Amino acid sequence: MGRVTSRHKVVRIDLDGEVSRTIDTIAGEEPLEIRVNGETFTVTMRTPGADVDLAHGLLRAEGVIARRDDVMSARFCSDLDTLNVLNLTVPGRDARTAVTSTRNLASLGGCGLCGTTAVDAIEAVVEQRPPEVLWEAAQIADALGELRSRQAVFDKTGGVHGAGLVPAGSSEVAIVREDIGRHNAVDKVLGSALVTGVETAGGLLVVSSRASFEIVQKAAVSGISVLACVSAPSSLAIEAADRLGVTLVAFARGRRMNVYTHPHRIPH
């Protein structure tokens, strides 16, 4: 799978058995520098692949773009040995126009940086609350099961997160992406939806990780109605989801799940 995975020698120790030498498949991790009109926006560690989707998803979540047509072009720097620098041409914008990024929040907090400041910054760019689309608990469980069954890189390495999107009115996961970073996996899914024209408003976003503030941010900006994560939520994720109108589901494992905000969207 190219740079997505690599093969490495490993000594395997079994305290109840024997020591053996074998070859292990490992998830790839390389830096990606994302530039906006030639200016560095951020550097993120990611699993190579779907980098254009990742960049679109990240820039949308950060308020730099709102639609596919905002990006005139996305090109890797061809004068480098590796495809680890991606420049997006966005007319009328620059790398400093991000208003929701946590790295820029210090300039917004006159009384100090806090969780409320972070949520306020997101509210400034969220155009409207997610649609009131209902999702059955069984649909959420099925979507998480399908996500797990389609995580090919995880099956090989055990070292990546997955994210998937079920559009409103559908019963199938339309887009699945994997990455060593849970935020990157979400950006790749939502960026792919932006690029290909798959509707995200009212949709169900499933993620094989804990529910963090940043993932709620990305879901809210894309109009996701229900965000379901396999592991625990953070306190700020719950606060953000509550204020931004996102139904947050966590500890979604098998046929059990906890609904922390806006439970009216999940009939029970």
The residues assigned a catalytic role are 111
CA distance to 186, 218, 243, per residue, from 181 (Å): 9, 14, 26
State the Cα–Cα distance between residues 240 and 29, nearest whole angstrom. Answer: 30
- For residue 133, the 8-state DSSP code is -
Give CA separation, 153 vs 49, 146, 180, 255, 264, in Å: 11, 15, 10, 25, 35
DSSP summary character for residue 234? P
Measured distance CA(161)–CA(151) in Å, rounded: 8
Of residues 150, 136, 37, 56, the one with CA closest to residue 95:
37
Would you state the structure tokens that stand for residue 34, as one six-digit string? Answer: 């994302």
